[in-house]
Amino acid sequence: MAHIHFIEDNHGDAIDLKVYCSDLCNILDNRDSYQGWNGCQEISSSQYCCLNSCQNIIEGLNDD
């Protein structure tokens, strides 16, 4: 399961997102722009955690 951090434009619309393996990685990477807990999200394919010092793999639904 993934933790999601949305990147918003000046109007508050989501324009991108970052995917983390844990809420702690989300907090450490975003500090003052941390938006609160947004975990237990399913992602389509596996990818690395966005926190550069972590790099855990988050398993996606479409991977065996």
Q: Are strands 3-8 and 57-58 parallel, antiparallel or unpaired?
A: unpaired
Q: Three-class SS of residue 13? A: coil
pLDDT on residue 59: 95
The rounded mean pLDDT for the chain is 95
Structure tokens at 23: 């809420």
pLDDT in tens, 2-31: 999 999 999 999 999 999 999 999 999 999
For CA atoms 38, 16, 52, 49, the dihedral sign is positive
- What integer is the mean pLDDT of 41-56? 96
